[in-house]
Amino acid sequence: MNLKGRSFLTLKDYSREEIEYLLDLAGKLKEKKKLGIIGDSLKGKNIALIFEKPSTRTRCAFTIGCIDEGGHAEYLGKDDIQLGHKESIEDTARVLGRMFDGIQFRGFSHENVEKLAQYSGVPVWNGLTDSYHPTQILADFLTLKEQFGKLEGLKLVYAGDGRNNVANSLLIGCSKIGINITVLSPKSLWPEEELIDICRGYADLSGSKIELTDNIDGVVGADVIYTDVWCSMGEEDLAAERIALLKPYQVNKEMLAYTGNPKTIVLHCLPAVKGNEITHDVFESFSKVIFDQAENRMHTIKAIMVATLGNE
């Protein structure tokens, strides 16, 4: 499958077959990494890493993934370049596109990453925007394949803020790949109706089921309970309001018991605020799979770069 030159902005742009290809490639690259085998697919490639928002997993995953394949990664923080301040996004894109072979963007406005892709002329990868977090979902899916040996037919319940970037991207990815997804959230924090309609179209093709509910009954039969912080970056002033609103959706022992499934696993994209969206004891009970999930950011991001920019 040839994905050369493609940007990776949202899973909307990728077919089920393309997502599965990236997951298979990530699995192969992970196996090589465990054996100490490095590649040269990105040899001679220079990659710009633009960060408006700080990061642990995204920055490390892109940097190590690039180096492992023989490339050079250059970190560009919000104080290092004039993105959207003294220089327009469009002009910055055209400059960086002349100097770099690929660009990663992690920031606020999704429109900015779209402009970078439109004007730079090189592959652009979305490391996170306020709207979407597609690289995270590939890591989630690789983790689920490792845990269950399959994706299609699993039931994933996302508990918490149902309209944040992770929830949006899970909705897209699950509906495309055939995972049944339940968004368990207060109605005021459900995904936008337009996105739900789009994903119902994907679900019709894949056989996935989409459910939105504010009732804890939604967790019954879950294979996976997934949660994320209740306040995304830039929303810290809403913390008290969110805690009060989302407390009933905390992932705790009671919620796990309510699934009726003793094999339910818990995922968290990190960083976690233990005591808010997840209790300390449940987090630690599932810490191994949660940190497998974190490690898989590196392998799936490497696969994205190799597939869209690599020499092979």
The answer to whether the annotation marks 58 as part of a ligand binding site is yes
H-state helical runs in the chain: 16-34, 57-68, 89-99, 110-120, 134-148, 165-177, 193-206, 239-246, 253-258, 280-285, 287-309
The answer to whether the annotation marks 269 as part of a ligand binding site is yes
The answer to whether the annotation marks 106 as part of a ligand binding site is yes
The answer to whether the annotation marks 182 as part of a ligand binding site is no
The answer to whether the annotation marks 287 as part of a ligand binding site is no
Burial environment of residue 34 by CB neighbours within 10 A (0 to 12, 13 to 18, 19 or more): exposed
In degrees, rounded to 5, the angle at the alpha carbon of residue 39 between the alpha carbons of residues 33 and 45 is 125
The answer to whether the annotation marks 131 as part of a ligand binding site is no
The answer to whether the annotation marks 16 as part of a ligand binding site is no
The answer to whether the annotation marks 57 as part of a ligand binding site is yes
The answer to whether the annotation marks 165 as part of a ligand binding site is yes
Which of the residues are catalytic?
A: 106, 133, 136, 228, 269, 297
Total residues belonging to the chain: 312
Can you read off the two tokens belonging to residue 206?
């894949």
Nearest to 157 by CA among 167, 169, 145, 148: 167
Give SS3 for 175.
helix
The answer to whether the annotation marks 55 as part of a ligand binding site is yes
The answer to whether the annotation marks 110 as part of a ligand binding site is no
Nearest to 168 by CA among 134, 214, 140: 134
Nearest to 301 by CA among 12, 42, 17: 42
Instruction: Give binding residues as ranges.
Output: 55-58, 82, 106, 133-136, 165, 228, 232-233, 269-270, 297
Annotated binding site for L-ornithine: 165, 228, 232-233
Annotated binding site for carbamoyl phosphate: 55-58, 82, 106, 133-136, 269-270, 297
